[in-house]
Amino acid sequence: MNHKWTAALFLTGVLLAGCGEKNDQAAYSAEDGESSRTGQETHGTAETGESNTARAPIEEAKNIPPEERTAILAALNQQIQSFNHKDLDGYMATISEHPKSFDYDEEKAYVQKVFQTFDAVMEPANITIIQFDQTAQTANVFMNMKSTSKDIKTGKEVSQTTRQMMVFQKEEGSWKQVSLFAME
């Protein structure tokens, strides 16, 4: 297996070339010791020796019109299903041609290479639209993404769960992904 692809594949959660900065908010998966809860973590001081970990739940934005919530989640579902079925055209139909955290053509080439090299599956959990801006027509969607990848040549399989935030923007009546931030 080409180690460059393995590292790239799992650092991005088998997802998109658009991973980047860490975000102050974080979702917790079952692997983190939380059943299905999401939260933000803050730590106490090291001087006391106590962790003083406080978790505030990640909550869905209250201002999302029901039809927009449905459309945003449908776009995310189309992206996941297209990826899992190696449908490059269906997958790219969910990506903005003017993304903010990655290059469209590089993303297409990267995902095509992943499809050729791996049998990869993404399984999102704890999907929450945490921010919705009606004026800017943007939505921030938080999730825990389990990615399982099997190298086609060697059969070696690896799974990883990452916390991610995808940013969607409404373009010409459809919701498209413009950014992705993956956190370790």
Tens digit of each residue's pLDDT (9 = 90 or more) over 141-177: 999 999 999 999 999 999 999 999 999 999 999 999 9
- At residue 58, the pLDDT reads 83
Which residues does 107 contact at the CB level (< 8 Å), separation at least 6?
16, 17, 18, 92, 95, 99
- At residue 104, the pLDDT reads 97
Per-residue pLDDT tens digits for 95-112 = 999 999 999 999 999 999
| Average pLDDT of the segment spanning 105-130 | 97
The pairs formed by 100-106 with CB atoms below 8 angstroms and a separation of 24 or more are 100/167, 100/178, 100/179, 101/18, 101/19, 101/20, 101/167, 101/178, 101/179, 101/180, 101/181, 102/16, 102/17, 102/18, 102/179, 102/180, 103/17, 106/17
pTM above 0.85, yes or no: no
Per-residue pLDDT tens digits for 33-77 = 333 333 333 233 334 444 444 545 689 999 999 999 999 999 999
Report the C-alpha gap between 142 and 129 in whole angstroms. Answer: 6
